Amino acid sequence: CHFKFQSHGFIFMLHNLSVHPSVDVPDTSFASFMLSKYEKHKNLIAIENGITGETYTYDQVITKTLKTASALKKAGYKAGDTVAIFIRNSPEYLVIILAASALGLVISTVNSSYTSFELCRQLLDSKSSAIFTNPDLVPLVKEALATSSKINIKDIFVLGNHHGCRPLSSLMEDDGSAFTELAPCNSKEDTMVLPYSSGTTGMPKGVMLTHHNIISNIIQLNIFPIDEKERLLGILPFYHIYGMVVVLFYNTLYGAHIVTLPKFEPEGFLSTLQNKKIQMAHLVPPLILFLTKHPMVEDYNLCLRQILSGAAPLGKDLCIECTERLGINSIVQGYGLTETSPVVLLDLPPVKYSSVGTLIGNTESKIVDTKTGQILGPMESGELCIRGPQVMKGYLNKPEATAEMIKDGWLHTGDIAHYDENGYFYITERLKELIKYKGFQVPPAELESVILTHSDVQDCAVIGIPDELAGEVPRGYVVLKKDKNVKENDIAKYIENKVAPHKKLRGGVEFVSEIPKSAAGKILRRVLKDKYLSGK
């Protein structure tokens, strides 16, 4: 790790630079960048539906992309419009993103387990004008559309058939005549994807990732070699930045063969790994725990050789046990955020257990004291801050939240970390209020806003409590209005009907007489968490 000393008045700044050589990032559009790479391995299989076995070669991905772009253009979509993707993992996910991007559309990826309430909010906030979905999700989409007259969805494109919706297949079979060239692109300004993240605080916000952000991150990842034809599992959701960029985009540059699965289901997961001869899998710690502990795994003959883990902490013991049980080469860890496209740190074999590795190319970091803001040195814990081409442009229509997150050009991750003398980083704690259930984001402020809609609730707060299987689970603290006699479980049930399954109050609900708050009225979640952890 190289250190750079700069003098800024009286303060000595200590920034960490990447140990990797810097990389050149072309000034081009995402679609142009990807499709030119796909030309190099046209005849190889790019992506396969793990359920139906249907495959697309790279050449077919290119052709379907251009036809779909033509059909979308005929339907009136133009550069700058936003479209939402509300589909479970499938090969068509890639085609839709590429086609929309070829036209200069912004793509807002939606969690496919969202309720109509959650979907409605994202469609409104992102101002999406079309939605791509699965046939069985159409009723939910229609429910969302009926909730607000302000949603301006012109078309529901459906992957299959559903009455009143346009089948995606008709787009992919267009004559291609309307699409003559890729949309011009100002790669550092134009937003390419708009996933949602709560960041350090508050409600989910649209994260504006530019073409440059995404292209940079996939080029920065090239320190992690992938072979042509390498078989990879696409089980992590493509709507989340890890599945989208690290699994779907990065690997297809090199001619890998991705097998998609729409959801985790033990038998389907293991039989796909076995039957499709998967060599490399991108996973999250709870799936690694499953592979390490579940007796079923013994019944399968797996040829996995490498796993990448990210989105939540992976302990040393689990890492060693899993590596040994499966007889694989290694489990490497990656670290990042939606706001950083996502990768910031990556470990490479031989792995350093518990470490999330070193800074990837073109990336700088500093660790700052959370109280004084002073820059800290090796083995000192503080907030990790990042600078690099992968850092988002900002949150959509939220300049204050953006300014809170990016200060003086540094993105404040809200994670507590330190690094050793060799530049290996360790993430030790989360400073921000975000809860992660199995690697999925659960923003406490969002759950609180839902709990507060209950007519008997006066006030509330949500925190994450440790859970062996899921990492963390959300727990609610509720102040009831006077003379109300609902039960804790009633509140939990009420929430369950309104939010996606990963946001359920699995950590329980506790009635309290008041919520601890700062003088400025901010919920002191730390107080609740410390109280819970100390068993009081």
Classify each residue of 485-515 as buried b or exposed e, where b means 16 or more C-beta atoms within 10 Å of its C-beta. Answer: ebeeeebbebbeebbbebbbbbbbbeebeeb
Pick the closest to residue 42 from 23, 56, 55, 59 (CA basis).
59
d(CA 107, CA 82): 6
| Residue nearer to ligand 4UU on the CB measure, 16 or 111 | 111
Helix (H, G, I), strand (E, B) or coil at 482: coil
The CA-atom distances, in angstroms, between 384 and each of 269, 322, 345, 395, 447 are 35, 29, 11, 20, 26
Residues of span 163-222 touching ligand 4UU by CB under 6 A:
197
Q: Does 333 bind ligand 4UU (CB under 6 A)?
A: yes
Among 50, 204, 206, 334, binds ligand 4UU (CB under 6 A): 334
In whole angstroms, how close is the CB of 281 to ligand 4UU at the nearest point?
12
- Please give the single-letter amino acid code of residue 211: H
Q: Does 338 bind ligand 4UU (CB under 6 A)?
A: yes
Q: Does 478 bind ligand 4UU (CB under 6 A)?
A: no
What is the size of the binding site for ligand 4UU (CB under 6 A)?
A: 26
Q: Does 443 bind ligand 4UU (CB under 6 A)?
A: no
Alpha carbon 365 to its chain's center: 21
Binding span for ligand 4UU by CB under 6 A among 63-71, 104-112, 241-249, 479-487 = 241-249
Binding span for ligand 4UU by CB under 6 A among 2-10, 165-173, 410-418, 477-485 = 410-418
Helix (H, G, I), strand (E, B) or coil at 487: coil
Pick the closest to residue 14 from 418, 427, 431 (CA basis).
418
Give φ, ψ of 247 to 5 degrees: -90, -60
| Residue nearer to ligand 4UU on the CB measure, 313 or 476 | 313
> Which residues lie below 8 Å from residue 280, measured CB to CB, with a gap of 6+?
226, 230, 231, 232, 233, 256, 304, 305, 306, 307, 308
Q: Does 86 bind ligand 4UU (CB under 6 A)?
A: no
Which tokens is 496 given? 């369950």
In whole angstroms, how close is the CB of 198 to ligand 4UU at the nearest point?
8
Residues of span 423-442 touching ligand 4UU by CB under 6 A:
427, 430, 436, 439, 441
| Residue nearer to ligand 4UU on the CB measure, 386 or 486 | 386
Widest Cα–Cα separation across the chain:
70
Which tokens is 8 given? 């800024």
Among 137, 241, 359, 391, binds ligand 4UU (CB under 6 A): 241
| Residue nearer to ligand 4UU on the CB measure, 187 or 200 | 200
Radius of gyration of the chain from its Cα atoms, rounded to whole angstroms: 23
Q: List the x/- string, 365-404, binding to ligand 4UU by CB under 6 A.
A: ----------------------------------------
Q: Around 524, how many Cα atoms within 13 Å sit in the side-chain half-sphere?
A: 11
Residue nearest to ligand 4UU (CB): 334
Which ranges of 245-330 would DSSP assign to H, the alpha helix?
Answer: 250-252, 266-275, 285-293, 316-326
In whole angstroms, how close is the CB of 356 to ligand 4UU at the nearest point?
5
Is residue 155 within 8 A of residue 171, CB to CB? The reply is no
| Residue nearer to ligand 4UU on the CB measure, 185 or 344 | 344
- Please give the single-letter amino acid code of residue 387: R
Binding span for ligand 4UU by CB under 6 A among 130-138, 261-269, 315-323, 413-421 = 413-421
d(CA 61, CA 158): 18
Residues of span 301-330 touching ligand 4UU by CB under 6 A:
310-313
Binding span for ligand 4UU by CB under 6 A among 323-331, 340-348, 417-425, 517-525 = 340-348
Among 81, 92, 190, 415, binds ligand 4UU (CB under 6 A): 415
Among 413, 423, 437, 525, binds ligand 4UU (CB under 6 A): 413
| Residue nearer to ligand 4UU on the CB measure, 262 or 357 | 357
| Chain residues in the site for ligand 4UU (CB under 6 A) | 197, 241-242, 246, 310-313, 333-338, 342-343, 346, 356, 413-415, 427, 430, 436, 439, 441
